[in-house]
Amino acid sequence: MNPSLLRLLRPLAVPAAILLTAAIAAGTSPSLPHSFSGLSVVGPYVVLLLGAVISAWFNRSRAFIMLASLLAAYAAWGLASDLAAKTFALRAVFTSLAILVPLNVLLALSFPERGVRQHRNYRWLLLGLAEILLVFWVANAGRSALSGIAWHDVLNHWLLRSPPTPVAGRLLFVLALVAAVVRTWPRSAGKELRKEPRPLDIGIAGALVAFFTACEWAQTTGAFGAFMSAAGVILLVAVLQESHRLAFRDELTGLPSRRALEERLPGLGPTYAIAMADVDHFKKFNDTHGHATGDQVLKLVGARLAEVGGGGTAYRYGGEEFCVLFAERRLEEVLPHLEQLRQEIERYEMAVRGADRPRDIKTGTQRRAGHAGHPENALSVTVSIGVAESDATLMKPTLVIRSADEALYRAKRAGRNRVMR
């Protein structure tokens, strides 16, 4: 399989496995011993509550909003099933949760991720309280003069008839799923580097599928709880994966971070080579063209380093410095790949976004085609590379890195844009 396609499909494996497990559990309906029978009811509460707590702890607002919505929906469904089975109240609760959960997700996806602890976050709390009061009002239609009976006619409208999931709920589900998929769709960062989908974006899309399946199978014993649990597990795993990604991957370049390198070093065998690469005149790029251009330079170099041959793995070491680790490779084996990497970076001309350049790609293309007075500034980037290998005197990775760093400074003193050992 194409490595790029495999990299894009890999994040889908966990949600798919969880959904498959939930489908098997709902289809086979295994009977638990009497002493454990409560797990099928309590389990979803535990998963959804745990996911909401961890999302709040890691300050992930979209995951928290969805998990809180799912938890409230499951609690409302359970309460209505126990107190008002096969009545208008149960139908009203089902219709409300099938509409409000995807609506909340759609609203959360419409705003930037600002974290759970954000300015004016009370608005989400007020929205949640308003939704709870609305569901309570609708579910009690006909029981008092205050609630009235108008909701009976409203819920008989073809858009709101249920079960299974009402048409309005399906439409909102489709909109929310499209919004989630758009966020997961890989997009280029700079001109070269293509980012993998974020685990949390994949998790939200997977949890939406699990919730919709739960609504469609709400009348099947155990299916609703199984798929609500699946939605909670998908989001919980996604939050943990996202936190791991933020800890071990550099956000700007997409490369593994220095922390990921330090985790890898203790597991190396006796044979390996390490290269340290530094962008030449990087301070000049920043001072002359601004930090935005400096970020473009780092993205470019990171994209090229990510494609280094010879079995090397590139890491963002810090600032404009990168590290390339060649496990189980000798120095002579990696030198040709490093030299090829240096040449590819040198040959690449980077177009700098001018201050008056339009953000719209089509408008920018038309301007360049029709107006010669707005040329793009092209910059050429070079790197200096120092490399060392493990041997009898350099037995620890830290010593090999230090030796590669010394070789890097020799390359700088010798005129830059070269590989030295």
Residues belonging to the active site: 320
Buried-state track 172-202, b at ≥16 Cβ within 10 A, e below 16: bbeebbebbeebbeeeebbebbeebbbbbbb
Q: Residue 42: exposed, middle, or buried by beta-carbon count in 10 A (0-12, 13-18, 19+)? A: exposed
List the structure tokens of 269: 């065998």
> Which residue in 44, 64, 65 sits closest to 55, CA to CA?
64
Q: State the maximum Cα–Cα separation within the chain, in Å, rounded to a whole number.
A: 89
Q: How many whole angstroms separate alpha carbon 69 and alpha carbon 348?
A: 49
293 vs 123, 165, 278, 297, 384, CA distance in Å?
Answer: 38, 50, 16, 6, 19
Q: What is the DSSP letter of 35?
A: G
Is the CB of residue 235 less than 8 Å from the CB of residue 202?
no
Buried-state track 207-235, b at ≥16 Cβ within 10 A, e below 16: bbbbbbbbbbbbeeebbbbbbbbbbbbbb
> Which residue in 19, 3, 45, 8 sits closest to 237, CA to CA?
19
Q: How many whole angstroms separate alpha carbon 117 and alpha carbon 126?
A: 15
